[in-house]
Amino acid sequence: MHASHILALDQGTTSSRAIVFDADGRVCGLGQQEIRQFYPHSGWVEHDPMEIWRSQLATARTALRNASLSAADIAAIGITNQRETTVLWERATGRPVSRAIVWQDRRAAAICERLRADGHETFLRQRTGLPLDAYFSGVKLAWMLENIPGARAAAERGELAFGTIDCWLTWQLTGGALHRTDPSNASRTMMFDLQTQDWSDELLACLDIPRSLLPEILPSSALAGQARAEHFGGAIPLGGIAGDQQAATFGQACLQPGMAKNTYGTGCFMLMNVGTAPRLSTQRLISTVGWTLADGRTSHMLEGSVFVAGAAVQWLRDGLGLFSQAGDIEALAASVADCGDTYLVPAFTGLGAPYWDPYARGTMVGLTRATTRAHIARAALEAIALQSADVFDAMHLDSGVALTELRVDGGAARNDLLMQMQANFLGIPVVRPRELESTALGAAALAALACGLWQDEQEVAARWHAEKCFEPRWSADQRLSKLQRWRQAIAISRQWQADAG
């Protein structure tokens, strides 16, 4: 086969990236561009959908150029994306009717409260596996239909299309020929029934959303449509789609029940494979689809979503000016032996799992005259690991499975100090792979399976290799004491915005 490479499009919260992988899963070329963040009101976060598309196309062309390859060398394209971010556009023109509402955005909290007051919370949870929260794209879409002038009328006339970012990119790549998503993204919308694996008319009625807005749901690994020749100098088949965290789980080869990974990016996302049937959480975690293969086999996950992780480091860099480069935080934090009993709760847009408090706000406690910027930097790193420890404990209670290791990826996984903190706070080994591009690799793997470049999942597992293992150094008592102190800080941050009126 002449076309022996895969192009992975990795559209994230802070940047668009593209990576070319060869048939052995090695990186051959990369392109990346940051995208702008818009914060028009407290708790609101927006992106420009056209900027997302232009930047993603530009990075894909850059990755091909850096790999010295052309469209003829690419067997398929895999897409992975920031999830829950919601786009609404005109079918006739492909023009967005507004900025995209980003997954971090909390403006739909009032709609969630209304649904809760109307008694829909249990129904929604049982059907979707999701807590009733502004995080999910269905309530963001409901907000758009209620608040964008003319949107509801246009939607009811069939003139508008809804999609998460994977769907938006697919539409643009195919020139509007394909309005498609996959189960991993659909399961994050609050409009998808976990049991039937399809859109639910009852859920749509609950949210008051016209079905005509929705894309077709196809397997995560399946050939469907082509990127138009004008984009890359030749048509390329589209072969794989998965939300970024599910793609990372696939790329980390967490293919068997009981295996788990944590991604350290803008937020933190821990996913555990629970097998071929959904498992509803009793600990306020998310039950979600991991991926569906071309033969219909579906893997389900439990997930805990932490809204702010790397974004806290960005805030210390850009908002407070504590250092000039994000990578500088490790040395600064390591310059002190501990956090000096200072705790930072980075609830800038509320708290995710297992608290689901849209009204929590960022809090720093324990400050004294002895507190330095190094203590604050260390407290920020600890906050990332402590939030993940909360999710880990909830996951253990939910699954009844004692995890024996946690696989890690994402940009902050390069930080040895943070990874050692994580091992200490969890009490199990934390394993970092050689290839930290797990998200893009997962999308590439799904595309490689779809086009026949790879034959089965065992080829994914065979390409995973550990680079470093961080063994826990703390006693159980040390861990418990730290978590108890952390949860005191969490309690202070809760409901802050609601209490302010």
CB atoms within 10 A of CB 69: 20
266 is in an annotated binding site: yes
Distance CA(466)–CA(369), nearest Å, equals 43
264 is in an annotated binding site: no
8 A C-beta contact, residue 300 and residue 246: no
CB atoms within 10 A of CB 192: 26
Q: Which amino acid is at 235?
A: A
8 A C-beta contact, residue 164 and residue 79: no
Q: At what angle do helices 165-173 and 49-66 cross, to 10 degrees?
A: 70
368 is in an annotated binding site: no
CB-side exposure of 27: number of CA atoms within 13 Å? 18
13 is in an annotated binding site: yes
245 is in an annotated binding site: yes
83 is in an annotated binding site: yes
What are 362-365's contacts with CB under 8 Å, separation 24+?
A: 362/493, 363/489, 363/492, 363/493, 363/496, 365/488, 365/489, 365/492
Distance CA(316)–CA(308), nearest Å, equals 12
Nearest to 302 by CA among 257, 265, 250: 257
314 is in an annotated binding site: yes
Q: At what angle do helices 244-251 and 438-451 cross, to 10 degrees?
A: 80
Q: Which amino acid is at 93?
A: T
17 is in an annotated binding site: yes
DSSP 3-state of 334: helix
170 is in an annotated binding site: no
Query: Which H or E run includes 123?
Result: helix 121-128
116 is in an annotated binding site: no
172 is in an annotated binding site: no
174 is in an annotated binding site: no
Q: DSSP readout, 243-288?
A: EHHHHHHHHTT--STT-EEEEESSSEEEEEEEESS----SSS-EEE
Distance CA(11)–CA(411), nearest Å, equals 15
8 A C-beta contact, residue 81 and residue 185: yes
39 is in an annotated binding site: no
Query: Which H or E run includes 383?
Result: helix 373-399
Query: Which H or E run includes 116?
Result: helix 109-117
32 is in an annotated binding site: no
CB atoms within 10 A of CB 400: 6
Cα Rg of the chain (Å, integer): 22
DSSP 3-state of 237: strand
Residues marked as binding for sn-glycerol 3-phosphate?
Answer: 13, 83-84, 135, 244
Residues marked as binding for ADP?
Answer: 13, 17, 266, 310, 411, 415
Residues marked as binding for glycerol?
Answer: 83-84, 135, 244-245
Residues marked as binding for ATP?
Answer: 13-15, 266, 310, 314, 411
Residues marked as binding?
Answer: 13-15, 17, 83-84, 135, 244-245, 266, 310, 314, 411, 415
